[in-house]
Amino acid sequence: MDIDIDYVQKTLVELLKIPSCGGYSREIVERVRKEFEAFGVETRMTNKGALIAEMPGKDSSRAVMLSAHVDTLAAMVREIKDNGRLRLTNIGGYAWGAYEAENATVKTMGGRDFSGVLLPDKASVHIFSDAAREAPRTEDTMELRIDEDVRTKADTEKLGIAVGDFVFFDPKTRITENGFVKSRYLDDKACVAVLLGAVKYLKEHKIQPSCTTYIYISNYEEMGHGISVLPEKVDEFVALDIGTVGPGHTSDEHCVTIVAKDSRTPYNYELRRKLVELAAEEKIDCRVDVHYRYGSDSSMGALYGLDTNFACFGPGVDATHHYERTHRDALVNTLKLAVKYITA
């Protein structure tokens, strides 16, 4: 299978640069919509701001749906402190220590951007001695120091910064010569780029899906309510999301992970077996894994009562919800399985 991995990587890097999270996704959804449009794929928006692309298939009597989410981890201004710094609340599940000393951007309702950095309240060992080393990193002990000459709450308010403003952290994207991709927010922009790469492959090779195929770009997955509507005739729903790499897991940074169970539910056995068999036919390097503290759009959709078989697969990613890393091989394997599934 002739995969354009350079396109996938280029698209991924571009998507990672666009700030996005639950409640702030219009710019990135529009960017993805334009990419579908360039491939001649029709799209429509949901009321919640998600995107649904549709590709006609050979069999119009049935349909499948694949999804990936553009929303990532972020933060929001919870309080302007008396010293002019910002107390934040998290958007998505992560440890605050994962973002310590990370550069960030505050986006105000007035359209202005301000840079800053996330620090503990007690950051300097010169000032706070052992407390700087030993203090817990929590929502109540971290603050955003903005790069403006502010010393009071009023100083910060004069800039137009207010409670409810979104805060986005630097993704720090790097691609190494030996194929590793390091960045925050590979979850799940890597899978968005993979799905666009799959569409590109099908269009360039003039291959039609086996049945009507929908691609759902969700924008609230990290909040747990990414999928709220199911197009007609969909009897299989496959979420593309990251495989978690670590002790006690089979997932690998070079492979595609097929998830057997997450923290909420087992996935549909017949559909999982179908994916495993398709991977074997194409000699795709895959792993079957059980994930903890994990959910996907398809498993949450099942819990919300969507009447469809459901599965999940995606590239193996190390240090998930921290400074993540995968490999080009995993992107290729995930893309091949997506194409194989769509055309099977």
**DSSP tag of 140:** T
- Of 252, 235, 234, nearest to 243 by C-alpha is 252
35 and 82 share one domain: no
Specify whether 221 is catalytic: yes
212 and 307 share one domain: yes
- Of 261, 236, 89, 105, nearest to 170 by C-alpha is 105
Domain-located, residue 36: yes
79 and 21 share one domain: no
pLDDT of residue 229: 86
Given 35, 143, 221, 253, which residue is catalytic?
221
Looking at 109, 135, 169, the residue that finishes a domain is 169
60 and 123 share one domain: no
3-state secondary structure at position 119? strand
Question: Any alpha helices (H) in 164-289, and if so which ranges?
Answer: 186-204, 269-281
213 and 251 share one domain: yes
Amino acid residing at 333: N
3-state secondary structure 45-78: ECCCCCEEEEECCCEEEEEEEEEEECCECEEEEE
150 and 232 share one domain: no
Question: Any alpha helices (H) in the chain, and if so which ranges?
Answer: 5-17, 26-38, 125-128, 130-134, 153-158, 186-204, 269-281, 297-303, 328-343
Q: What is the mean pLDDT of each run of 10 residues along the chain (344 residues)?
A: 95 98 98 98 97 97 98 98 98 97 98 98 96 96 98 98 98 98 98 98 98 98 92 96 98 98 97 98 98 96 94 98 98 98 97
- Of 164, 167, 210, nearest to 74 by C-alpha is 167
Structural contact between residues 63 and 70, judged by C-beta atoms closer than 8 angstroms: no
pLDDT of residue 1: 87
pLDDT of residue 71: 98
Domain-located, residue 177: no
* Domain span holding position 228: 5-72+185-343
Q: Is 319 left (phi over 0), alpha (psi -120 to 50) or beta?
A: left
CATH code for position 104: 2.40.30.40
Domains in the chain: how many in total?
A: 2
What residues have CB less than 8 Å from 74, skipping those under 6 apart?
19, 20, 21, 24, 91, 92, 166, 167, 168, 169
3-state secondary structure at position 277? helix
- Of 205, 221, 214, nearest to 235 by C-alpha is 214
Domain-located, residue 288: yes
Q: Please compute, for residue 49, the number of CA atoms within 13 A of its CA located in the half-sphere on the CB side.
A: 19
196 and 316 share one domain: yes
154 and 219 share one domain: no
137 and 274 share one domain: no
